[in-house]
A = this chain, B = another copy of it.
């Protein structure tokens, strides 16, 4: 697991809440994406992306995401979540987010996101800002 984690630029730990489990007795499928969202926000802040969702600077919009469920987690456990950029396109970033079970020391889910830079004042998509690219490269 440590080897797998080493490629992620931001790694955070989130405890599983009892209420994260659904009536199938596993962490509900949505919760993995909640963790991914929190870790993604930390990643954006480290890169220097504005996450106020109201400024003239480009902010991130989630255009698409997926999630592959590999191992069902349960409470009590802790999710170890890592995020990295896997592709830079003209008008979007593709992120990868991996979720590991700390208790079982194995991957539990893997998720990808398409992040679109958006001007929240002009209300339109913009090209990938060079500040984002520099931020990713510096990290």
Chain A residues close to B by CB (< 8 Å): 12-15, 17-19, 21-25, 28-30, 33-35, 37-38, 41-42, 53, 61-69, 75-76
Q: Is the CB of A68 within 8 A of B63?
A: yes
For A63, give the chain B residue with the smallest CB separation: B69
By secondary structure, the A interface counts as: mixed
CA–CA, A38 and B31, complex, Å: 15
- Residues of chain B contacted by A37 (CB below 8 angstroms): 17-19, 29-30
Q: Is the CB of B63 within 8 A of A38?
A: no
- Residues of chain B contacted by A25 (CB below 8 angstroms): 23, 53
Q: Is the CB of B24 within 8 A of A22?
A: no
CA–CA, A66 and B37, complex, Å: 15
